[in-house]
Amino acid sequence: MGKKHKKKKKTLEKKLDPTCNTSNTKNLMAEANTKEDLISRLPDDILCCIISLLPFKSAVKTSFLSTRWKNIWKMNLVRNGTIEDAVIAISSFLNDFNDLHRSRNIWGIQFNFHKGNVLLASVSPNRNLHLDFYTAKQEFPRQFGWQLDLNCQRFYLPPSPTFMIKTLHLVSVSYHTNEAVFSLVSNFHFLESLIIAKCNGLNSLRIVSIPKLVNLTVFDCPQLKSLQIRASRLNSFRYRGQLPSFSFDHELFLADAMFDFRKGPGYRSANHDFDLILYRIKSVKNLTLCRWNFEKQICPSLHPDPFYFLRYYKFHKLKELWWIDYLKDEELYNSDALIYFLKFCPSLEILSVTIDPKSYQVLSPGTFFEENIRLKHLKVVKLDGFRSQEDEISLAEKLKEVFSVDPKIVATTTTSNGNSWRSLVKVSELEEEEGSFCYKFVEEVKHINELCPKHPHMSL
State pLDDT tens for residues 365-406.
Answer: 666 666 666 778 888 999 998 888 888 888 888 888 887 778
- In the chain, the percentage of residues whose pLDDT exceeds 70 is 72
Distance CA 166, CA 196 (A): 14
* pLDDT above 90: residue 240: yes
Name which of 173, 165, 175 is nearest 197 in CA terms: 173
pLDDT of 208 reads 83
pLDDT band per the 50, 70, 90 thresholds, residue 200:
very high
Window from 179-193, 320-334, 418-432 with minimum mean pLDDT: 418-432
pLDDT of 204 reads 93
Q: Per-residue pLDDT tens for 81-93? A: 888 888 888 887 7
pLDDT of 268 reads 65
Report yes or no: 80 and 129 within 8 Å, Cβ to Cβ: no
* pLDDT above 80: residue 153: no
Name which of 213, 336, 345 is nearest 286 in CA terms: 345
pLDDT band per the 50, 70, 90 thresholds, residue 18:
very low
pLDDT band per the 50, 70, 90 thresholds, residue 15:
very low
Give SS3 for 229. strand
Q: How many alpha carbons lie under 13 Å from residue 216 in its C-beta half-sphere?
A: 24
Element (H, E) at 185: helix 178-185
pLDDT of 101 reads 46
pLDDT of 215 reads 94
Report yes or no: 119 and 133 within 8 Å, Cβ to Cβ: yes
Distance CA 279, CA 296 (A): 17
Give SS3 for 371. coil
pLDDT of 13 reads 44
CA–CA–CA angle 73, 75, 81 (5° rounding): 130
Could you tell me which residue, 332 or 150, shows the higher pLDDT?
Answer: 332
b/e map of 172-206 (b: 16 or more CB within 10 Å)?
Answer: bbbbbbbbbbbbbbbbbebbbbbbbbbbbbbbbbe
Could you tell me which residue, 304 or 37, shows the higher pLDDT?
Answer: 37
Averaged pLDDT for residues 115-124: 82
Report yes or no: 101 and 163 within 8 Å, Cβ to Cβ: no
